[in-house]
Structure 1
């Protein structure tokens, strides 16, 4: 592991500056620091985890990524699993058949996810600077210069090899590099609250639409429930005060009762946008999470997509900064994650539009889609794979093995280990049918494992859990060439 304590230009040439300490920024920073890359995170908010975060669902693919970082089990102990997703009143998607260790989604407040990621980042040595705001950013061929204003108005100039903007929908980093954020507001005046209930719903998630009213309830398991409410035609501005009576009224219209809501610890009004930056990279500056894409909350994919952005980008930055891969590797972040963001915009937007359908043709389309997903297994599996992230696959070079770019499940390895355990520490994992010795050439960056069963394919798994290379017949020389090409 590289020494994070060095100073001067050498350190600046290897440092990554992450702007934003939400889940996306924290996972990215923790990954980089674990790989020995010096990381500074700047955050304009004060130190401390807010309990007012909007996201509250972890999907299976995100849980797999967190498992590869040793965090999933503790989050599973705090959250509440749900093995069925229900849409449009009668469409139910069963998650119990997912090809994953996590055959469910996990209902858990975003602040619990942030707690785990923050602890990991601190333990890895990330330099966290709160109450620090980016005021200017410029880049040249050798790095990025960032002006910040810290506590007490102190001004400072920071220098880094790369900057990642994980600073949300109103990203200062995105604005600084001149990227537009095209799209539009889809729903205005969405109401959010965390409340206690006098009467408990019969299910973990309760959702329904009646006429122009929509309401959603989810239990956090700590006595509080998240409520999301919206009524078509009611569009006050985001800064219009919210009263619990307004939320109760809409909930009664949509769900038939308000379950005796009381003791709100937080209420808010916001609008839901669909937007995506045309590029996730401008020179040495990258965007991730809500800074790169925002979508409607339908399907609970927002935080999950950002965390998977971070998992994709972190190992590539570590490879390049460690001198193990060419700088062109960083271009694959755009190639792989931009289409995923675009697909999430389409799927989440489609769910919202169908949920709020009222014209005859849209109601007919919703009924037809419900019938298809109920009766056609492949279509249902594709829908579940898209929402949970399990179905994401990255493009492969021409002539590559058919497995290249595919997600690798948490497969069993010889000796009772499993893949997610072998991936910890940000390693590549080589899985072979016969023993293979790389002579220690790749140090801690590579774990060499064997299949627990009789599979004959050799597979090189990237640190984010996707296939970098595979072969059904490669010998030691072929494996060595693959390691040289991908691990460095």
Structure 2
């Protein structure tokens, strides 16, 4: 191997939130990880993501990172408002985090990068991927700065993923809206509720408070459509706000602004040989609901422990469950965000007059409210289980108090399986006792229940042998 060819166990392409969480997880599990990023080392603050939902906060909490993110600022919101009258009540979520944290993606990346660097991840910035070759159970990533070889490669490099293109995975879909505007601004007369969504007169806007004096505005005006590379003027944003809300809220000049188009796309496969896709490289959708970054982070949480386990001797078939579990989630988020954006952008005066009232009435029904909040927050994501398995298998594990005075999500910080309420003796896993209910549980490192039933140490040991490797 020459000096231009570097060896790792896993190569992660892309240093956004998805790639950073994945790389940090793997490194903390003892896996040798290299991250390739085409950008420079500076973290960009020019990003669309701004919402960290409850399930993602749980993911961060189970890594000891939630408090670090809170320390960087942001605003915790227990309610979301749609079209004036429709209220999504996150405050009723069955979680330690019954709200959405409004904070910049910059803050999320900062916390995740510091953790990954401390765990020993090898970062290679200014490296552009130009191809991938697979042979003999490994993959070589060719870049403009040399070649890198690993057992597995994960593309977390966004909607224009070089990894996805290199392995020939299709990315079908369509552009839902073009010429969407994005800006961070100060407001002299801010709205009473935040975040808020409104649409009227052929325009719609989303507006949210970061808690630091800045407001994120996402706007669209059917009468003003320009190319993505066209600069955004202050007047364009003010016009969209006035059309949608009836006021521009005393908007100042933007701190920064950009223009983009909103696509709905999903990769036809999340894997090609030893190459995987996660985050926007696997799925992209409208910013409605703020679910994009969150879905990608949860992709990474699902995949990271499986890669680590297989590298340490678990059944390689475990990796097939990544797409089986996460592809349906990406599809559901794509559908949900698409519905919101289409309702918001509908030009019909009749639709505009009734949508807030109709949505508001529907969201007063508990089953509807529960379904909407569960999907947006990620709390109700459930993974399929085989016929005959316990009904709890595939459910998210609730954070519970343990007999030793700690919490389940604190026990998960060791990046190992946690066995609850079992007589099993195995030094490779964390054992804990919660309030007994007659059911033993094996909680996977991503916080989902992998096995449940009456205590059966032999059955639990067999599950762990296939799924845990030598973690």
Same fold per TM (> 0.5)?
Answer: yes
Shift of 1:291: 0.5
1:467 matched to which residue of 2? 449
Shift of 1:65: 0.4
Is 2:156–2:280's contact at 8 Å kept on the other side of the alignment?
Answer: yes
Separation in 1, partners of 2:419, 2:81: 39
Aligned pair in 2 of structure 1 residues 207, 379: CA closer, same or farther (>3 Å)?
Answer: closer
Aligned pair in 2 of structure 1 residues 172, 227: CA closer, same or farther (>3 Å)?
Answer: same
1:229 matched to which residue of 2? 219
Shift of 1:177: 0.6
Q: Does 1:322 align with 2:312?
A: yes
| SS of structure 2 residue aligned to 1:264 | coil
In structure 1, list runs of 5 or more residues that go unmatched.
1-6, 150-154
1:90 matched to which residue of 2? 85
The aligned runs of 1:128-143 (5 Å cut-off) are 128-143=123-138
Aligned pair in 2 of structure 1 residues 377, 141: CA closer, same or farther (>3 Å)?
Answer: same
Separation in 1, partners of 2:151, 2:124: 18
Separation in 1, partners of 2:132, 2:459: 45
> Which one has more relative contact order, counting CA pairs under 8 Å at least 6 apart?
2
| SS of structure 2 residue aligned to 1:240 | coil
Separation in 1, partners of 2:431, 2:405: 14
Separation in 1, partners of 2:74, 2:207: 15
Structure 2 residue corresponding to 1:427, chosen from 416, 420, 425: 416
How many equivalent residue pairs? 465
Q: Which moved more, 1:372-381 or 1:23-32?
A: 372-381
2:197 matched to which residue of 1? 207
1:152 matched to which residue of 2? none
Separation in 1, partners of 2:10, 2:456: 38
Separation in 2, partners of 1:363, 1:224: 28
Cα distance per residue 1:104-150 (max 9 Å; x no partner): 0110100000000000000000000111111111111320011111x
Cα distance per residue 1:200-255 (max 9 Å; x no partner): 33233233212212122212222222111111132211111211121112112222
Structure 1 residue corresponding to 2:285, chosen from 295, 298, 311: 295
Is 2:181–2:218's contact at 8 Å kept on the other side of the alignment?
Answer: yes
The aligned runs of 1:384-463 (5 Å cut-off) are 384-432=373-421, 436-438=424-426, 440=427, 442=428, 446-451=429-434, 453-463=435-445
Q: Does 1:337 align with 2:331?
A: no
Cα distance per residue 1:246-281 (max 9 Å; x no partner): 111211222222222224221111110000010000
Is 2:80–2:194's contact at 8 Å kept on the other side of the alignment?
Answer: no
Shift of 1:359: 4.0
Structure 2 residue corresponding to 1:355, chosen from 317, 340, 344: 344
Is 2:82–2:196's contact at 8 Å kept on the other side of the alignment?
Answer: no
| SS of structure 1 residue aligned to 2:289 | coil
Aligned pair in 2 of structure 1 residues 359, 263: CA closer, same or farther (>3 Å)?
Answer: closer
Is 1:468–1:486's contact at 8 Å kept on the other side of the alignment?
Answer: no
Separation in 2, partners of 1:425, 1:97: 29
Separation in 1, partners of 2:352, 2:236: 28
Aligned pair in 2 of structure 1 residues 369, 140: CA closer, same or farther (>3 Å)?
Answer: farther
Aligned pair in 2 of structure 1 residues 179, 365: CA closer, same or farther (>3 Å)?
Answer: farther
Separation in 2, partners of 1:162, 1:280: 13
Cα distance per residue 1:433-455 (max 9 Å; x no partner): x65432x2x2xxx210001x232
2:68 matched to which residue of 1? 74
Separation in 2, partners of 1:365, 1:284: 50
Is 1:195–1:227's contact at 8 Å kept on the other side of the alignment?
Answer: yes
Separation in 1, partners of 2:316, 2:463: 18
Aligned pair in 2 of structure 1 residues 198, 131: CA closer, same or farther (>3 Å)?
Answer: same
2:369 matched to which residue of 1? 380
Shift of 1:339: 0.6
Shift of 1:369: 5.5
In structure 2, list runs of 5 or more residues that go unmatched.
none
Aligned pair in 2 of structure 1 residues 160, 202: CA closer, same or farther (>3 Å)?
Answer: same
Q: Which moved more, 1:220-229 or 1:168-177?
A: 220-229
Q: Does 1:269 align with 2:263?
A: no
| SS of structure 1 residue aligned to 2:404 | helix
| SS of structure 1 residue aligned to 2:153 | strand
RMSD of aligned alpha carbons: 2.0
Shift of 1:327: 1.2
Shift of 1:362: 5.6
Aligned pair in 2 of structure 1 residues 64, 368: CA closer, same or farther (>3 Å)?
Answer: same
Cα distance per residue 1:286-332 (max 9 Å; x no partner): 01100110000100000000000000000000000111x11111111
Separation in 2, partners of 1:249, 1:190: 13
Cα distance per residue 1:432-483 (max 9 Å; x no partner): 1x65432x2x2xxx210001x2322100000001010011x22433433333
Is 1:60–1:388's contact at 8 Å kept on the other side of the alignment?
Answer: yes
1:40 matched to which residue of 2? 34
Separation in 2, partners of 1:234, 1:65: 40
Separation in 2, partners of 1:71, 1:371: 35
Separation in 1, partners of 2:369, 2:275: 38
1:4 matched to which residue of 2? none
| SS of structure 1 residue aligned to 2:91 | coil
Is 1:435–1:450's contact at 8 Å kept on the other side of the alignment?
Answer: no
Aligned pair in 2 of structure 1 residues 30, 299: CA closer, same or farther (>3 Å)?
Answer: same
Structure 2 residue corresponding to 1:481, chosen from 458, 462, 465: 462
| SS of structure 2 residue aligned to 1:120 | helix
